[in-house]
A and B are shown apart, each in its own frame.
Chain A
């Protein structure tokens, strides 16, 4: 059997005791796919200053969240004033842009939840544009179940996560 020890540098496939070489034996190098994986760090985004009316706790505009019922996508009556206030701000301040992030609770498929969150963000965007905001001021996106505000696995927690958040330029 000693003759079967072949120096690595020769790097070739040899039929040993067999008289018929096996082409399908699988001669690829062990390391061809197990090489080093490079590590990448993804960056973040810094916020910047916003006008006081958007951040003053006494201003309705400091409130940014619209909550939804389970498997529902319509804006409830209790949130209509908030949405109307933001629509008015956007129509009076055309230079401002808004990102609406839709969110869901954690139950079910991540990608399906991403699509459900998109439905919620789209519902907020539609309400804002009906009330005077311009379409090109607003982008509606979804975070699905990925960014829960409340991690409790009960109805109280889930209710806080079924949500659309309105962010202004500089906040996202």
Chain B
């Protein structure tokens, strides 16, 4: 069942110290439901972690929740087989329960902080696959759980986990209150980066994960800001006459593609990340908007109505060589390119509904992944496996994550409030 695993690694130990941060008050948190699951899931057991029961339970449940939510694992019941990373696994017992992989660990206090240790075993080969220890402050134990889940995910699937990444989204609390939130990828630990009386749209993470570009209407018109999350410092990067919108970072973080109406119409420009050096990219009459850089930074995908209906095009960053990418249907918008550059997520109007679709860029084959009526704002997880979207359920905005094959769907929702404009952040550095 396990895919060919990476080379056997001994138990290596990572210890580090980090600053203890005071956590902002937790707001209403996102909850996650799995509404579908992948066909073949890896059976894995996560033994109850040892150590102080409260901390141990917290870390164990983060790891289990992460793995289960990915849709790639089937969690095996560990009850009656207590163990930690220091115990030799009873491989026979775990095998008879159907586990192909097993993880065990413990939490222990160390100098006012907490150390979370774990080991991962291949039950069939009866070997250790990985192990690590993470030292953290007690309030950040969940982060240690996410790191352990990332290690397990990577060893068992061969691709990087995204459990330690963050997401951004906008909550409309009322007609006079909008909030930009940053949360862990599981929707927990939400913090507020910006409160405004006016709408906030189109948040986009800088490649280093430290800043967000977004459009704010606080000056009664759309203006693009870059906001440093740790300091709260905000820089206006585009406030030209007319509208300023749709920011997208270049892969190296040096530039933003933006949409400006300063010269008439809505046209794509690039600006430096500090707002200087605006250069026009598109010149055709009509609308050009929603730019998104290809991973090589050389071309831009965007939405345009130049052919009479909104469709997706690709153009060289230096103008010219424009190709139309979408042809099926009369409304294809919001292109986002996968991290490997091979596929494109977008929103397509089909049978009257706005639905998430994915195109394989080499074959131009398109798969519609949902049956929604109002999907918006797709963004790829940094490992390319899931796509986060905004959609609507019972008249309320909710967030949903859909696997690129459409088989796994998770719903995230805040009980009170309208959630929209999600953006999945990059890998933790």
Instruction: Give chain A's interface residues, CB within 8 Å of chain B.
Output: 1, 4-22, 25-45, 99, 101, 107-112, 114-116, 118-119, 122, 139-144, 146-147, 153, 167, 172
Contact = CB atoms under 8 A, between A and B. Distances in A.
Contacts of A11: 15-17
B218 A27 contact: no
Nearest to A136: B241
15 contacts: A6-B133, A10-B15, A25-B132, A30-B140, A33-B166, A35-B21, A35-B230, A37-B24, A38-B229, A39-B191, A39-B193, A110-B202, A112-B289, A118-B243, A144-B222
A118 B260 CA distance: 10
A111 B232 contact: no
Contacts of A25: 9, 12, 14, 132
B22 interface: yes
B232 A40 contact: yes
A101 B220 contact: yes
A19 B24 CA distance: 42
Interface string B1-43: 0000000011111111111111110000000000000000000
B10 A1 contact: no
CB-CB nearest 3 A-B residue pairs = A18-B10, A38-B232, A31-B18
Given A37-B230, A109-B290, A122-B261, A29 B16 contact: yes
B331 A108 contact: yes
B15 A7 contact: yes
Determine which residue in A45, A118, A142 has the highest number of CB atoms from chain B within 10 A of its CB, and name it. A118
Determine which residue in B13, B234, B347 has the highest number of CB atoms from chain A within 10 A of its CB, and name it. B13
Given A114-B222, A118-B287, 14 more contacts: A4-B13, A11-B16, A36-B21, A36-B191, A39-B24, A40-B227, A110-B377, A111-B245, A111-B333, A111-B334, A115-B245, A119-B265, A119-B266, A167-B220
Instruction: Report the interface size class on chain B.
Output: 35 or more
B381 to A, nearest CB: 15
B55 to A, nearest CB: 14
A119 B305 CA distance: 12
Contacts of B115: 5, 8
Given A1-B86, A29-B16, A141-B243, A111 B428 contact: no
A64 B245 CA distance: 25
Nearest to B219: A45
Given A39-B193, A39-B195, A122-B265, A30 B222 contact: no
A19 B10 contact: yes
A70 B59 CA distance: 53
